[in-house]
Every structure is written in C-alpha cells, then in structure tokens.
Amino acid sequence: MDKDGKIGIGLLGLGVVGAEVARMLIQKSERLSQKAGRPLFLCSVLVKDMAKPRDSVVPPRLLTTNPADILNNPQVDVVVELLGGVKPATDYLRTAIAQGKHAVTANKEVMANHGPELIRLAEEHGVNLLYEASVGGGIPIIGPLQKDLLANEITSVHAIINGTTNYILTKMSQEGMDFQVALRRAQELGYAEADPAKDIEGVDAAFKLAIVAALAFHTKVAVSDVYTEGISKLTARDFLYAQELGYTIKLLAIARRIGDGLSLRVHPAMVPNEHLLSKVDGVLNAVEIEGDLVGRVVFHGQGAGPRPTASAVIGDILEVARSIASRRGPARSGTVDGGLRILPMEEMITQYYARLTVSDRAGVLAQIAKVLGDLDISIASVIQKNADAARQTAEIVVMTHPAKEAHIRQAVHQMETFGVVRDVSNVIRVEQWT
C-alpha cells in the first residue's frame, strides 16, 4: 500500500549490509526516488541491541527492537530483510508477505531452505519477493535467470560463489600457503568469520547453488540434494601437482543437466588453466551459465561486501517500487514446476586425481592399476615423486579417464585396505568442459 504516493521501506537489520542500504536510502533519496518513479522513504529499522554504538546515518528515532513496528506498520510497503540466519528472518518474511507487503531479502539460508514456500506465499498475496543479493552479492544472477535467460534450456551452471574459500585457495595456489595459514590470513582481513565452518565446508556455496539451480532448472531443490565437500583436506602438495598437470584447484558449485536428471555438487575441483574460472582469484566470485540458445555466459565480480550487496538490495527495492508505481503485479515468477530427477552422487561420471602414498617397491603400480582396471577405471597418467628412503615410501599421483564416482569410492576403499598403499592422501574431481 502506498501513502500519499510515497513508498515506505522497513528495514530489518542495520549491520554490514543494512547500514549501507540505509545510508543509500537516506543520502541518495532524491536520485533513487526518481529512478523508482515515486518518493521512497525509510520508515523504521529493526535492530537487536538498541544500546550498540553505531556509526550510522539513520536517525535514532527510526530504530526499534519491536518487529511489529515494521511488520504491522501500514506505512511500510516494502520489508527489506537483512538480519541473516533462518530464525526469526523466515517468520518475519512470512508475516510481511501475509500482510500484503512486498519483500526483499539478501538471505541465502532462508531462500535455500524456505524459498519455494515463500515464493508461493508471495504469489498468493500478489506481492514481490526479490532476493538478488542472496547469491553472488552485487553480481546479477537471479534477475538474469528469471528474465534475460528464460528462453534457454539451461544445461549447466559452474560457479565460484564463496569468496572466503576462493581467497584461501588463491593463497594456497599462488603463495604455497598451508590451509591453516591461509585461513588465518582470511580471518585477519575480515574475509572469514571467527567460525568459518559454513564457508570452508562448502555449506554456504551449497545454499547458493540450491537457489540458483531451482531457478535455472525449474526444479525443486533442497539443500540436502547438493553433495557438499569442503576444502580443508587440500594441501600445498595438491596445488603443486595441479600446477604441474595444468590445472587450478577451485571450490566449484556445479549443477548439470544429464538427460532427465540433475547433478548438484559443491566440492574442490581441478579446473583447466585455460578455463576462465581458473583465473577468478581472491574474494571475487564468478558464475558461468550455459544455455542452449545463448551458449556460455559468465557473470563475474564482487560476491560480498557492503557496497556490492547494497547494489543488489537497492536494485530489488527499485524494481518493487516501480511495480508499485506502475500498479502492475509482480513481474517475475519463481514458480517451480518440477521435472528433473536429482541424480545420486554415486552416478556422477568425471575424471579424478588421486594422490597416494605407497610402499617404494616393485610391482606397486601394477597392483594399483589392477584395482582400478577391475572397476572399469582407466588411467590417463601417473606421476611418481618423492621417494622417502627412511619410510620406504613414494608418492604417486594418478589421473584417471572419466569414471563413475561409485567405482572411485570402491577403489579408494580397496586401496586403503591394501598393504602396499599406505594412504590415499587425497582424491580431487577434475572438471572438464566439452
């Protein structure tokens, strides 16, 4: 509902992103109102702790700790959720939408776990629910999938969508840092949280992949459908071998259509050095989408930070404001119509890199080749390195031709119980683009 032609905005959260969104709404009010087609005004801002010292341009009279001041406020037309976490953010969004308010959120956890339900609710109530900032910060991904790429049958999405892990992997690759050292550096620079588990274990990327894949493939995707493996097992040695073999290791979020199935996975992957994604360094993000009409398109840029994220949030606010100003209903539909079967990870076929510590004696390679051969896994190349005379071991790196994940798991299991293989130190999937 608009009041005197003005569009009222209620902000839930005044943290890293909320403070920047509020600053823009206040300091650029006139310019943004021109773009919206109606005056925009900030009605009220929800915070948790009123006593917290804040370096914010928001007048203290607008702050509240009572969500009803926004959710039940008739002046508020658009509720912008920037709290983070599932609770109470999901409840607040439900309430806002059920009250006929438009909603904008940057919350990947909410959209990955409750997106379909909230989208349905918004459709029932004839309001917008926009969430561009939930994936890739300032990089436009949701909008293009909902509009510009809609004519396509999407065949694959390959994404680097977690800046923390990409920073760590870049340091490991370019400076030979160990994982723990690179993680500490990321924490010192504010790129990683004190508890970095969701980032380094791939959970954050899985949330974002679930959101993107649901839109790209018009399929219901649960976070649990995404096979998820983090980066903490990678060592400096893996990066050395990757370089020698012509690859860069990245945490990839991959969604690929295979027949009537959809493969969804987040894991470290060897990316060929000539591929664009191998060159996405530091905290930057990139999403490559392949469609039957458009071919491959790549969206690249800053996937986090207050200004890039505010760019996406304010873009959504302006789109909502324009739809209110023009009295047209929500332009974008997120309707999920199902269709594709989520493929079990065990059925996935790709190339593999395996680093093994073996007894340094004759016949070992033949035994390894036999285990692999019996499981239909053919070897593309082998590197043997670093004989350790004291321990009488050597390190062997095997690259396979495309093989089934289930067979590789069986092979690893057999080799681990195998006298001559002391240790399967790491197995990394190799991503190939045809």
Of the ranges 13-21, 23-31, 192-200, 355-363, which one interacts with ligand NAP (CB under 6 A)?
Answer: 13-21
Under rule CB under 6 A, residue 305 binds ligand NAP: yes
| Region from 72-80, 119-127, 146-154, 302-310 binding ligand NAP, contact rule CB under 6 A | 302-310
Which among 47-55, 95-103, 246-254, 403-411 is the span making contact with ligand NAP, rule CB under 6 A?
A: 47-55
Q: Does 314 bind ligand NAP (CB under 6 A)?
A: no
Q: How far is the CB of 111 from ligand NAP (least distance, A)?
A: 9
Cβ closer to ligand NAP: 182 or 313?
313
Of the candidate residues 3, 31, 48, 279, the single one contacting ligand NAP (CB under 6 A) = 48
Residue 178 C-beta: closest distance to ligand NAP, Å = 26
Nearer to ligand NAP, 50 or 151 (CB): 50
Q: How far is the CB of 67 from ligand NAP (least distance, A)?
A: 7
Q: How far is 232 from 267, CA to CA, in rounded Å? A: 11
Q: Name the nearest CA neighbour of 77 among 130, 6, 4, 7.
A: 7
Q: Kindly state whether residue 46 participates in binding ligand NAP, applying the rule CB under 6 A.
A: yes
Q: Which is nearer to ligand NAP, 13 or 291 (CB)?
A: 13
Q: Does 17 bind ligand NAP (CB under 6 A)?
A: yes
Reading the block at residue 405, the tokens are 């994940």
Q: Interface with ligand NAP by CB under 6 A: which range of 72-80, 102-110, 119-127, 183-191?
A: 102-110
309 binds ligand NAP (CB under 6 A): yes
Bridge partners for 284 per DSSP: 302
User: In the block, which residue shows the tokens 């209110």?
Assistant: 324
Q: How many residues bind ligand NAP (CB under 6 A)?
A: 23
Q: Does 323 bind ligand NAP (CB under 6 A)?
A: no
Beta partners for 396? 356, 384
- Reference 115, options 255, 265, 222; nearest CA is 222
C-beta separation of 73 from 92 below 8 A: no
**Is the backbone of residue 197 left (phi > 0), alpha (psi -120 to 50) or beta?**
alpha
Cα 319–chain centre separation: 23
Binding map of ligand NAP across residues 108-127, x = CB under 6 A, - = no contact: x-------------------
What is the sign of the dihedral through the CA atoms of 282, 285, 288 and 294? negative
In the complex, minimum distance from the CB of residue 98 to ligand NAP, in angstroms, rounded to a whole number: 19
Q: Check binding of 25 to ligand NAP (CB under 6 A).
A: no
Burial 283-307 (b: 16+ CB within 10 A, else e): bbbbbbbbbeeeeeeebbbbbbbbe
Residue type, 90: T
Is 301 a binding residue for ligand NAP by CB under 6 A? The answer is: no
The answer to whether residue 208 is catalytic is yes
Residue 49 touches ligand NAP, criterion: CB under 6 A: yes
Nearest distance from C-beta of residue 125 to ligand NAP, angstroms: 22
Instruction: Give 57-60's long-range contacts (Cβ < 8 A, gap of 24+).
Output: 57/22, 57/23, 57/26, 57/27, 58/14, 58/19, 58/22, 58/26
CB under 6 A: which stretch of 82-90, 175-183, 288-296, 354-362 binds ligand NAP?
Answer: 82-90
Does position 55 interact with ligand NAP (CB under 6 A)? The reply is no
When asked if residue 192 is in the footprint of ligand NAP (CB under 6 A), the reply is: no
Please answer whether residues 318 and 35 qualify as being in contact, where contact means their C-beta atoms are separated by less than 8 angstroms: yes
> CA-CA distance, 87 to 107, in Å (whole number)?
11
Of 101, 108, 171, 208, catalytic: 208
Stretch that binds ligand NAP, among 23-31, 48-56, 172-180, 409-417 (CB under 6 A): 48-56
Q: Does 143 bind ligand NAP (CB under 6 A)?
A: no
Radius of gyration for the alpha carbons in the chain, expressed in angstroms and rounded: 24
Does position 315 interact with ligand NAP (CB under 6 A)? The reply is no
Q: Closer to ligand NAP at the Cβ: 137 or 144?
A: 137
Query: In whole angstroms, what is the distance from residue 426 CA to residue 412 CA?
Result: 10
The number of residues making up the chain comes to 434
Contact present, 323 and 331 (Cβ < 8 Å): yes
Residue 234 tokens, joined: 């990678």
- Smallest distance from ligand NAP to CB 186, Å: 14
**Rounded to an integer, what distance in angstroms lies between the CA atom of residue 183 and that of residue 171?**
9
Contact 181, 164 (CB under 8 A): no
d(CA 381, CA 391): 25
- Just list the catalytic residues: 208
Name the residues that contact ligand NAP, by CB under 6 A: 13-18, 46-49, 52, 82-84, 88, 106-108, 133, 137, 304-305, 309
